[in-house]
């Protein structure tokens, strides 16, 4: 049978373990949410970026971001590429974080 001090120590250790698990779950949820938001942003931009043809370029409108994209159709692809690169960075950081956490749990 354990005395009161040992029981209190076990209770404190268990509470700390539960807090650690809760914090790690919140971190995983936040990281997964950020990856999903990045992916959704890339999909939204790629859908909202219209397909350009020569007739749209000849309209000659100026002064807006849309007109800049109309005069340079490759700009939409550049924006999507940059967003995809940022998504790759987020996924890589998520994987590195998960690996570090697994290694720290093993020790």
What percent of the chain is predicted at pLDDT more than 70? Answer: 74
Could you read off the pLDDT of 76-98 as tens digits, one per residue?
Answer: 777 778 878 888 888 888 888 87
What would you report as the CA-atom Rg of the chain, rounded to the nearest whole angstrom?
25
Neighbours of 95 (CB within 10 A): 11
- The confidence band for 50, taking pLDDT boundaries of 50, 70 and 90, is low
More confident of the two residues 76 and 6 = 6
List phi, psi (to 5°) of 76.
-60, -40
Proportion of the chain above pLDDT 90, given as a percent: 12
What is the average pLDDT across 8-28?
90
Q: Where are the domains of the chain?
A: 31-106
Does residue 14 carry a pLDDT above 60? yes
Burial 28-38 (b: 16+ CB within 10 A, else e): eeebeeeeeeb
Alpha helices, H only, the chain: 4-48, 54-57, 65-71, 74-106
Q: What are phi and psi of 52, to 5 degrees?
A: -100, 150
Q: What is the mean pLDDT of residues 101-106?
A: 79
Compute the average pLDDT of residues 48-59: 53
């Amino acid at each position: 049978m354990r005395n009161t001090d040992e029981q209190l120590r076990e209770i404190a250790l268990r509470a700390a373990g539960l807090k650690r698990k809760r914090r790690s779950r919140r971190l995983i949820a936040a990281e997964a949410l950020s990856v999903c938001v990045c992916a959704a942003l890339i999909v939204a931009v790629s859908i909202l970026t219209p397909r350009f043809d020569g007739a749209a370029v000849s309209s000659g409108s100026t002064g807006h971001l849309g007109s800049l994209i109309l005069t340079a159709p490759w700009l939409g692809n550049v924006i999507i590429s940059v967003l995809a690169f940022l998504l790759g960075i987020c996924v890589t950081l998520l994987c590195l974080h998960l690996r570090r956490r697994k290694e720290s749990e093993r020790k």
